[in-house]
Amino acid sequence: MSDRIFGAFGVFLALGYAYAALQIEESFLSDAVGPKAFPLIIATIFGLSSAVIFLRPDAEPHWPAFGRLAELAAAVVVMVLYAELLPVAGFVIATAFAAAYLSWRLGSAPIGAALTGVGTSVGIYVVFHLALGLSLARGPLGF
Amino acid sequence: MELLSSLGDGFAVALTWQNLGLALLGCFLGTIMGALPGLGPSNGVAILIPLAFSLGLGATPALILLTSVYYGAMYGGRISSILLNIPGDEPAMMTCLDGYPMAQKGMAGEALAISGIASFVGSFLATWGLILLAPQLVKIALLFGPAEYFALFALAFMTLGGVSSTNQAKSAFAAALGLGLAMIGVDTQTGVPRFTFGEVHLYDGLDFLVAIVGLFALSEVFIFLEERHGAADAAGRKLTVGRLTPPAAMVKECTPTMLRSSFLGFLAGVLPGAGASLGSFISYSMEKRLVDRKGTFGKGDPRGVAAPEAGNNAAAGGALVPMLALGVPGSGTTAVLLAVLLSLNITPGPLLFANNPDVVWGLIAALFIANFMLLAMNIPMVGIFTRVLMIPPRILMPVVAMVSFVGIYGISGSSFDLLVMIGFGIMGWGLRKFDVPLVPIILGTLLGNAMENNLRRAITIDNGNWFTLIDSPLSIALWAIAILGFLLPVFVGRMVKMRMRQRGDAEGSVID
Amino acid sequence: MAFKAIRTALAVVGFGLVGTMAAAQENPECIAPANPGGGWDFTCRQVGKSLQDLGMIDKTMQVVNLAGGGGGVAYAEVVNKRNDSNDLIVAASSATATRLAQGAYPGNTMDQVRWVASVGADYGMIAVAANSPINTLPELLDMIKNDPASVSVAGGSAVGGWDHLKVLIAANAYGIDDVRTVKYVAFDGGGEAVTQLLAGSVQAFTGDISEAKGFVDSGDIKVIAVLAPERLEGEFNKFPTAKEQGVDALGANWRGFYAPKGMSDDAYNMWVEKIGKLYASPEWKETMAANGMAPLDLQGAAFEAFVAESVAQIQSISKEIGIIK
């Protein structure tokens, strides 16, 4: 059943993609093929393969229980917050919190998680910023 | 014998304590950067250029340092592929297919060792190829016009089926998805934005590094989060890493594979625009078709590790041919190296070998030295690398996630890229559930633009005539191989099935 | 195009190395609007490193990569968020001006920042394969005029990009009315375009003089026109300009810096003076000569006027060919 839904979704996605391709505004200056042709070819392959998945589904995959999905959603939220807050809070602080959270959710005790977070953050800072010279987000404290 | 004396001169240039030290440093840093997801060879070399300049290095020492980083990163990429199922850089993606299953079978040590040897063989042969054949090989590169490149890319996609999944439709789905994502951004042929929805961050298109790190590394983190059944489980998991040196039988079994893959990978490297990823991909799919009689590829076959590693390292050497002899970078890394050459007032091109023999031969000698160093470094260090597997996931996975974020953010400085990466992570997790292979997605995002552009260039040049695609013997040959590669598995699969039915072979379960 | 940018920018490295002035910028920062390894990145990274090595700045020049939108993301960041920073400069080039002119940075215009100074230019040229029957620019343009389909021109930038515009400027100056008929094929960088010229896939090449130096030296390609006001110096002296062949076309790919609009006048003048002095040093002249780069000695107001003029020129030709409305 999952594959059927997946295949149907793929067909719709292909249609949407083809529609978006047709919306591409052509400039006056176009080559012989134009910017739409190749995306339309891709949309065709995409749609056909989705249709085949729909018609010949594989065995049902193992889906996690609702609790696990909530766990994943929470992790995604933390990561998005991390991405958004990184330039504000600075690299070391943001990374320590994000790493500690992940470590905690993966089964560390709270103290172990905090240590993992700080260790990861400082370790990465040393290797990437101090040794390799990449510019990482600088927070209010200068790191 | 003029060749040997030139090479001797090269070694005289390269074999100073300073240069050896630089080569060692470069190999070490390169291996680390290759292994870290997000930092690949091209960024690794770019990051170290300031170091080379601030040390005040001359042309040859600077090149020795940077090419050591380049070769080191090509070696290093395999480590995280094998141990974590996360390719350290894009050419190492094929190594995941058999490397990670080997590690799961308790053969991580063997996998690392055999891939190290394969890497060595690939780059060693490629360096000889560079010495002996560079001028002739340039002519091959000139045979490839836009139509031929398009045929080559079509070949890669048509032979994709069955390489990375048992379900052909899902392979095709993944390839189309990758190609579709590659279309995002400003169209280089006409300058109109496509699929950007007015978002300025998307004008440059999606960076395939963002895609690869999200799809592989973050989705791995999600899988661990999903499957956590308490700390007891992680502790109870008995880990074996296997032998730290490969058995002689395994080396023997892999030798023909390494030789064939080195040759193919080298050729792919010589073509500007094909590059190391295509080299490892073609090597793997060719080997699978040639020697995979029992269907062990993809389930931890040592040859499936040796083939892509020999292929991508050979391609790395091959990519130096067009860079030196034509001044055309065949990959992102060689583009950076080329810029370095130019900044040192060395003009690559047809006259480079005549005008700057000391630089060329010094560089070639350095390649040999770096290669031996990497072999000497990588084989004994297999034991250290495998320790990574001893780290419990509750510590390892946060580190993987954060390194992925930093690798992307440190390079682009963009929160937007991080959000895209998280999106790819979620997508990767979902697609893994549906058993959709991830490799074709990456191949699609990597090659999509080049494929489309060459199609459009070919047809524009011939004023809208689509038959120009099959207008040269070379493109016809490439199309023939592509069609053969596409149809062969279908027929062979059917024949195998029939034979099994005749024999009444109950245990041979053929996967459709 | 990206590769060409790297090359020019690396030449800029020399300029960082010869700096001699001492001035204290508090937290000097250079934004490279691209990933590491690109041309803008090299400009920032090397200048920063050298400035510190020479003791001209006390703190390390922080190089921040802010990729996206062909420089548009960085431009928006400077305008919206960093408008009053005194310590900030941003790497720029003709590509920046082209995108500004074509409105490719949505909502941003060139007068939202202060233009600091240039560090050199790379003149455009048009070349054909050595065995081509074409020997002069008018011959090539005649062929295009008579049968546009017969000549494919290859270049390293996208359609509407600088390499493309150069050939259109020449065609326009020669009296080809509908320049849209000129068949331009975009490749990934000048090197790839030259290779296809050698392979015989295309008939002509448009790019910068420095891109094709190796092939000119080896005699594989012949330069039929340089788009400079007068003949270049040194070994490039032997190539005729378009102007002397009766085609009044100019095309220079410059490289320089801009700074936030709200920067104090003192800070602005300091940056201007610094880069001006570096430009004047003999070492920098040497680097430019070796790379086929031509002088473009513009600072402060003069540079600002120059950028404005080139934006206006690109705008008018882009309108003419229909890239923008």
Asked if B173 lies within 8 A of A82 by C-beta distance, the reply is no
Asked if B175 lies within 8 A of A99 by C-beta distance, the reply is no
pLDDT band at A29 (very low <50, low <70, confident <90, very high): low
**Which pLDDT value is given to residue B226?**
85
CB contacts under 8 A, C 163-222 vs A, are: 180, 185
Number of domains in chain C: 2
**Which pLDDT value is given to residue C154?**
92
Closest approach of C207 to chain B, Cα-based (Å): 14
Return the higher-pLDDT residue of B489 and B457.
B457
pLDDT at A19 over 90: yes
Mean pLDDT of chain B: 83
State the amino acid at position C117 in one-letter form: A
Are A82 and A26 in a shared domain? no
Percent of chain C with pLDDT over 90: 21
Q: Is residue A143 in some structural domain?
A: no
Question: How is A6-69 classified by DSSP, letter by letter?
Answer: HHHHHHHHHHHHHHHHHTPPPPSS--SS-SSHHHHHHHHHHHHHHHHHHHS--PPP-PPPHHHH
Closest approach of A67 to chain C, Cα-based (Å): 38
Determine the residue of chain B that is closest to C180 in CA distance: B190
**Which pLDDT value is given to residue C290?**
63
| Range B192-209 average pLDDT | 81
**Which pLDDT value is given to residue A94?**
92
For B201-221, what is each residue's pLDDT tens digit?
887 788 878 888 899 889 989
Question: Can you tell me whether residue B124 is helix, strand or coil?
Answer: helix
Q: Is residue B364 in some structural domain?
A: yes
Q: Is residue B509 in some structural domain?
A: no
pLDDT at B428 over 90: yes
**Which pLDDT value is given to residue B493?**
61
- Kindly list the partner chains of chain C, i.e. chains with 3 or more CB atom pairs below 8 Å: A, B
Are A8 and A46 in a shared domain? yes
C214 closest CB neighbour out of B145, B198, B349: B349
Are C126 and C241 in a shared domain? yes
Q: Identify the domain boundary among C229, C245, C261.
A: C245
- Token pair belonging to B144: 């490839």
Q: Is residue B508 in some structural domain?
A: no
Asked if A29 lies within 8 A of C160 by C-beta distance, the reply is yes
Q: Which residues of chain C make contact with A28, given a CB cutoff of 8 A? A: 180, 321-323
Closest approach of A138 to chain B, Cα-based (Å): 11
CB contacts under 8 A, A 35-64 vs B, are: 35, 38-39, 42-43, 45-46, 48-50, 52-53, 56, 58, 61-64
Are C110 and C127 in a shared domain? no
Q: If residue C30 lies in a helix (H) or strand (E), which one and from where to where?
A: strand C29-32
Q: Is residue A137 in some structural domain?
A: no
CB of B404 within 8 A of CB of B420?
A: no
Angle between the B59-84 and B41-54 helix axes, to the nearest 10 degrees? 150
Are C178 and C282 in a shared domain? no
Least confident of A119-123, B24-28, B257-261, B269-273: B269-273
Are A72 and A32 in a shared domain? no
Closest approach of B96 to chain C, Cα-based (Å): 27
**Which pLDDT value is given to residue B510?**
38
State the amino acid at position B298 in one-letter form: G
| Nearest-angstrom CA–CA distance, A95 and B410 | 13
C63 has a chain A CB within 8 A of its CB = yes
Asked if C214 lies within 8 A of B340 by C-beta distance, the reply is no
Question: Can you tell me whether residue C115 is helix, strand or coil?
Answer: strand
pLDDT at B143 over 90: no
Q: Is residue A139 in some structural domain?
A: no
Q: Which residues of chain B make contact with A87, given a CB cutoff of 8 A? A: 415
Identify the CATH number of the domain in which residue C146 sits. Answer: 3.40.190.10
Mean pLDDT of chain C: 80
| Nearest-angstrom CA–CA distance, B121 and B249 | 17
Provide the β-strand partners of residue C259. Answer: C114
Provide the β-strand partners of residue C223. Answer: C127
Asked if A29 lies within 8 A of C322 by C-beta distance, the reply is yes
DSSP C112: G
pLDDT band at A30 (very low <50, low <70, confident <90, very high): low
| Nearest-angstrom CA–CA distance, B117 and A59 | 39
**Which pLDDT value is given to residue C9?**
44
Nearest to C325 by CA among A25, A97, B144: A25
C10 has a chain A CB within 8 A of its CB = no
Query: Looking at this predicted complex, what is its ipTM?
Result: 0.93
Asked if A29 lies within 8 A of C180 by C-beta distance, the reply is yes
Closest approach of A88 to chain C, Cα-based (Å): 13
Are A80 and A109 in a shared domain? yes
**Which pLDDT value is given to residue C23?**
37
Asked if C63 lies within 8 A of A27 by C-beta distance, the reply is no
Asked if B434 lies within 8 A of A68 by C-beta distance, the reply is no
Domain that holds residue C68: 2-121+252-321
| Nearest-angstrom CA–CA distance, B151 and B420 | 31
Domain that holds residue B95: 2-503
CB of B377 within 8 A of CB of B394?
A: no
pLDDT band at C57 (very low <50, low <70, confident <90, very high): low
- Token pair belonging to B428: 């990767």
**Which pLDDT value is given to residue B506?**
41
pLDDT band at A135 (very low <50, low <70, confident <90, very high): confident
CB contacts under 8 A, C 179-198 vs B, are: 183, 185-189, 191-192, 194-196, 198
**CA–CA distances in Å: residue B78 to residues B84, B98, B391, B486, C73:** 10, 11, 19, 28, 34
Return the higher-pLDDT residue of B139 and B234.
B139
CB of C77 within 8 A of CB of C29?
A: no
- Kindly list the partner chains of chain B, i.e. chains with 3 or more CB atom pairs below 8 Å: A, C
Residue of C49, C180, C320 to mutate for A, most A C-beta atoms under 10 A: C180
For B45-85, what is each residue's pLDDT tens digit?
877 776 776 677 777 888 888 889 999 988 888 998 998 88
Q: Identify the domain boundary among C245, C273, C305.
A: C245
pLDDT at B235 over 50: no
Q: Convert B65-91 to b/e letters by CB count within 10 Å (16 or more is b).
A: bbbbbbbbbbbbbbbbbbbbbbbbbbb
**Which pLDDT value is given to residue C179?**
81
pLDDT band at B497 (very low <50, low <70, confident <90, very high): low
Mean pLDDT of chain A: 87
Question: How is B338-390 classified by DSSP, letter by letter?
Answer: HHHHHHTT---STTHHHH-HHHHHHHHHHHHHHHHHHHHHHHHHHHHHHGGGG
For B309-336, what is each residue's pLDDT tens digit?
999 999 988 888 888 887 777 677 887 7
Are C37 and C106 in a shared domain? yes
Measured at the alpha carbon of residue C309, what is the angle toward residues C307 and C314, in degrees to the nearest 5? 95
Beta strands in B162-270 (DSSP E): 185-186, 193-194
B272 closest CB neighbour out of C64, C69, C192: C192
For B256-312, what is each residue's pLDDT tens digit?
999 999 999 998 888 876 677 888 888 888 888 888 777 788 888 999 999 999 999
Q: Convert C168-180 to b/e letters by CB count within 10 Å (16 or more is b).
A: bbbbbbbebeebb
Are C110 and C203 in a shared domain? no
C322 closest CB neighbour out of A28, A135, A138: A28
**Which pLDDT value is given to residue B280?**
87
Asked if B47 lies within 8 A of A83 by C-beta distance, the reply is no
Are A37 and A85 in a shared domain? no
For C127-161, what is each residue's pLDDT tens digit?
999 999 999 999 999 999 999 888 999 988 877 78
Asked if A75 lies within 8 A of B393 by C-beta distance, the reply is no
pLDDT at B397 over 70: yes
Q: Identify the domain boundary among C245, C274, C301.
A: C245
Domain that holds residue A39: 2-55
**Which pLDDT value is given to residue B489?**
66
Highest mean pLDDT among B6-15, B350-359, B426-435: B426-435
Closest approach of B371 to chain A, Cα-based (Å): 23
Are C6 and C87 in a shared domain? yes
Asked if B172 lies within 8 A of A82 by C-beta distance, the reply is no
**Which pLDDT value is given to residue B429?**
93
For C244-292, what is each residue's pLDDT tens digit?
999 988 888 888 899 999 999 999 998 888 888 777 777 667 667 766 6
Q: Which residues of chain A make contact with C64, given a CB cutoff of 8 A? A: 135
C290 has a chain A CB within 8 A of its CB = no
Are C38 and C116 in a shared domain? yes
Number of domains in chain A: 2
C63 closest CB neighbour out of A29, A31, A135: A135
C163 has a chain B CB within 8 A of its CB = no
Q: Which residues of chain C make contact with A135, given a CB cutoff of 8 A? A: 62-65
CB contacts under 8 A, C 230-259 vs A, are: none
| pTM of structure | 0.81
pLDDT at B172 over 80: yes
- Token pair belonging to A100: 């500690």
B204 closest CB neighbour out of C41, C70, C192: C70
pLDDT band at B163 (very low <50, low <70, confident <90, very high): low
Q: Specify burial of residue B352 (Cβ count, 10 A radius: 0-12, 13-18, 19+).
A: buried
C292 has a chain B CB within 8 A of its CB = no
Number of domains in chain B: 1
Nearest to B38 by CA among B83, B100, B98, B92: B92
Q: Identify the domain boundary among A12, A36, A55.
A: A55
Q: Is residue A76 in some structural domain?
A: yes
Residue of A129, A135, A136, A138 to mutate for C, most C C-beta atoms under 10 A: A135
| Range C70-89 average pLDDT | 86
pLDDT at A16 over 90: yes
- Token pair belonging to B223: 């899988």
Long-range contacts of A117-123 (CB under 8 A, 24+ apart): A117/B398, A120/A95, A120/A96, A120/B398, A120/B399, A120/B402, A121/A91, A121/A92, A121/A93, A121/A95, A121/A96, A121/B402, A122/A92, A122/A96, A123/B399
Return the higher-pLDDT residue of B391 and C128.
C128
Q: Is residue B511 in some structural domain?
A: no
A33 has a chain B CB within 8 A of its CB = yes
Asked if B415 lies within 8 A of A50 by C-beta distance, the reply is no
For C161-204, what is each residue's pLDDT tens digit?
888 888 988 998 888 888 888 888 888 777 788 888 988 889 99
Closest approach of C175 to chain A, Cα-based (Å): 19
**Which pLDDT value is given to residue A8?**
93
pLDDT at C115 over 60: yes
CB of C56 within 8 A of CB of C238?
A: no
Question: How is C53-106 classified by DSSP, letter by letter?
Answer: HTTSSSS--EEEE---GGGHHHHHHHHHT-TT-SSEEEEEEHHHHHHHHTT-ST
Q: If residue C142 lies in a helix (H) or strand (E), which one and from where to where?
A: helix C137-146
Return the higher-pLDDT residue of A134 and A115.
A115
Are C137 and C212 in a shared domain? yes
Least confident of B10-14, B337-341, C5-9, C34-38: C5-9
Q: Which residues of chain A make contact with B452, given a CB cutoff of 8 A? A: 38
Q: Which residues of chain B make contact with A86, given a CB cutoff of 8 A? A: 405, 409, 415, 418
Determine the residue of chain A that is closest to C159 in CA distance: A29
Q: What is the CA radius of gyration of chain B?
A: 22
Asked if B189 lies within 8 A of A76 by C-beta distance, the reply is no
Highest mean pLDDT among B290-299, B403-412, B473-482, C32-41: B473-482
- Kindly list the partner chains of chain A, i.e. chains with 3 or more CB atom pairs below 8 Å: B, C
- Token pair belonging to C133: 């029957």
